[in-house]
Amino acid sequence: MKIDRYAQRGDIIGVQQELALGVSIDSINSTADSFKPQTPLQCALASPITGIDMVEFLLAQGATLSLTPKQGKSDLYWAVCSGNLEKVQLLLNLGAEIGYVDANGYDVLIDAMFSEAQGAEKIALVKFLIAKGAGLQGRSSYGESALSVASRCGWFEMVQVLLEAGCDRALLGWTDLMHTVAFGTVSEIEAQLQQGADLTTVDDWERTPWLLSLQAGDLEKAQYLLNAGSNPRATGRCGKLPMMYALESGNLPMLSWLIELGLDVNAADQFGETALMLAAELDQVEAASILLNAGAIASQSDEYNGTAIKKAGSVEMIEGLIAAGEDLADIESSDRRLFTKVDFPGEWELARQHYDADKYPRFGTRNPEVMNVPFWREMVRFRGGACTARSYYHDTEYNAEEAVWCFDRFGQSITRLPDGRVVEIAGEHEDYYDPDFYIYNDVVVYDGHGDFQIYGYPRTVFPPTDFHTATWVDGWIYIIGNLGYSSDRRIGETPIYRLNCITFAIEEVSTQGESPGWISSHRAVPRDRQLHISSGKVWAIQQDKPMLVDNTATYILDLDQHCWHRVEAESS
């Protein structure tokens, strides 16, 4: 509902307009998710960008305040989540129950650990809650306490605050040596080692004293402990690597030192995550550069098929990974806005008549045809899925022959042009069993300033295309490969089209020589008027039936002669 979004953004005028239209001040979201705020007041309390003025306005308008947890979360929980101390203080002054414990054992201090507040603000919030009587020994049903969460995250200043307030140190599983590593001096560490302190004992997070020194970001202590006999290849819980602890500390000289020690930059934890993936996730651009220069493999994936570029969230990080050979098309859909410059609208206001008129996909009638369709343009702005549109327009009719047009797609390429424009091509929505499964053949061109144009094509000119590559070379985007509908696949043939970046007309490219065949999910690298095609899957006959098999060779397409030749993978 709009009133929730206005409350979340701190837009008092927007809330006033909704109230004037008769919207209830206590209207409940349609979502039943107890981890999301349900009322406008809860939306305002939970939002890290909304100040206390919106909360006071809603209360003055008669918003109902839930001071104790009943079903779902209390309003104090939502205020704590925002990390805003003023909101928390206001609710406590109004009688909110600071000693709440929800159905999973979470109390106000544990919730504060997961709040939006960072650094000194989080410490200030916790000190305030403790001064107001927050319990110190709470544990969730998952075994979490405020102290254990602070320890796991390496917030050792927070750990000290909690210990001084009276939290049970036993929850840390720390030896005296570990406590000294976190809060003492090298001289004190030396004295304890002379008295027989053990370097191999691990705490509740399976960290040795040496790993604790890395997470604390104390290079002097780490070097001393290593020289004293610590195991440099020790790992924490779930195989967490030494370099990961150094990354969490943000100490770049420490990261470089670990590399100089000979630790493997491509080592992975229990889940297949590498230090480079964590650096991308933490948006530590300089750390990622250090790792890449030391030989980190950018294309390495974890057990969930996550890669560094999929975990990246900034243009600078993504650019660094592209320079290391990664493909822009692999970034997450939400990150594509960083390049298309199309802002998320926030409000869906398109009239139902546009949905009814244009909700189904259709092919273009010219090469190209400008598809100036309001509903389609709205979907591009939202990067919306078919299910989201159906839900908004209360469309429960599923026509077995028709999918709803959408822009939430897999296998959609993205290509940057030298003049700053960005081009996204085709892709598919969902899998074959979904009623909204569809493979598209459109092209969306972004001007680099927030606007865009959608082009459609006849199926005979450009068939439905997904999991292809799209590479700019001298004014053309070469579109190579395709998974496509099973009925369209032709074993032994490689579909190749090229898009004119002035007219945006598409033409098929005929080639000769030994091609990869019907290839998809591959890589294409331009080199001196050639495209080098590697990896991916090929549609081929195996065991007397067609199936997708790994491509094990590199194929080079000469763009002047339109001729293929194959290179074995070992020499590519």
For residue range 169-210, list pLDDT tens digits in order.
999 999 999 999 999 999 999 999 999 999 999 999 999 999
Cis amide linkage into residue 368, ω under 30° from 0: yes
pLDDT at 571 over 50: no
pLDDT of res. 67: 67
Per-chain mean pLDDT for the chain: 94
Please state the rounded mean pLDDT for residues 125-148. Answer: 95
Please state the rounded mean pLDDT for residues 509-522. Answer: 97
pLDDT at 70 over 60: no
pLDDT of res. 415: 97
In percent, the amount of the chain with pLDDT more than 70 equals 97
Q: CB of 186 within 8 A of CB of 224? A: yes
pLDDT band (50, 70, 90) for residue 222: very high
Q: CB of 210 within 8 A of CB of 218? A: no
pLDDT band (50, 70, 90) for residue 419: very high
pLDDT of res. 65: 87
pLDDT band (50, 70, 90) for residue 253: very high
pLDDT of res. 404: 95
**Could you report the per-residue pLDDT of 80-118, keeping only the tens digit for each?**
999 999 999 999 999 999 999 988 899 999 999 999 999
The sheet that has 537-542: what strands, in order across it? Answer: 518-520, 537-542, 545-550
Q: Which residues contact 9 (CB under 8 A, 6 or more apart)?
A: 47, 49, 50, 346
Q: CB of 558 within 8 A of CB of 529? A: yes
Tokens of 3: 């009133």
Q: Which residues contact 101 (CB under 8 A, 6 or more apart)?
A: 69, 107, 138
Q: Which residues contact 530 (CB under 8 A, 6 or more apart)?
A: 556, 557, 558, 559
Please state the rounded mean pLDDT for residues 414-426. Answer: 97
In percent, the amount of the chain with pLDDT more than 90 equals 88
Q: CB of 476 within 8 A of CB of 505? A: no
pLDDT band (50, 70, 90) for residue 572: very low
pLDDT band (50, 70, 90) for residue 63: very high
| Nearest C-alpha neighbor of 359 from the set 386, 384, 394, 391 | 386
pLDDT of res. 347: 76
Please state the rounded mean pLDDT for residues 242-260. Answer: 97
**Could you report the per-residue pLDDT of 355-414, keeping only the tens digit for each?**
999 999 999 999 999 999 999 999 999 998 999 999 889 898 777 678 999 999 999 999
Q: Mind giving me the DSSP string for 56-100?
A: HHHHHTTPPP--S-SSS--HHHHHHHHT-HHHHHHHHHTT--TT-
What are phi and psi for residue 87, nearest 5 degrees? Answer: -65, -45
